[in-house]
Amino acid sequence: MRRIPRKVEVEHEPGKITRYVRHDNGDGYVSPQAKVHPDATVERGAYVEAGARVADHARVGRFSWVDTDAVVGPNARVASNVHVGVRGIVGDGALVGDGARLGVDVTVEPGAVVLPDELVPAGTVVRSERRRGDYGTAA
């Protein structure tokens, strides 16, 4: 069985190192400047950046990326290979499908669904009653 390192360092650009620690529930990596509830799951290969928050009973899937200052609310599900953009919000009980990409400042309302492989433009609001590609405008 391969051991997962407790800490990892990534050089994003020459001379700029970002450090992460392994989250006990799921083995994903979390910036020390992020807040992840102990009851949340951050799966192996996922990253949570500085300033981001992941609430209780939320799940961040394998190889997903919760970017700087983003929020994943209680009971929300971020599937595999998803990018939650800078300052993005995934509301309580919302679901973001595999391979979806959320732009900067996207809000996924509580209970809303983003379909797999969907690209959500920056600054939009995904409403709980919408259909694929139907976005509300930012308030």
User: For residue range 38-82, what is the model confidence (pLDDT) as tens digits?
Assistant: 999 999 999 999 999 999 999 999 999 999 999 999 999 999 999
Cβ–Cβ < 8 Å for 85, 122: yes
pTM for the model: 0.87
Contacts of 112 (CB under 8 A, 6+ apart): 91, 94, 95, 126, 127, 128, 130
pLDDT tens digits, one per residue of 9-49: 777 677 788 889 999 999 999 999 999 999 999 999 999 99
Structural domains present in the chain? 28-126 (2.160.10.10)
Q: Determine the length of the chain.
A: 139
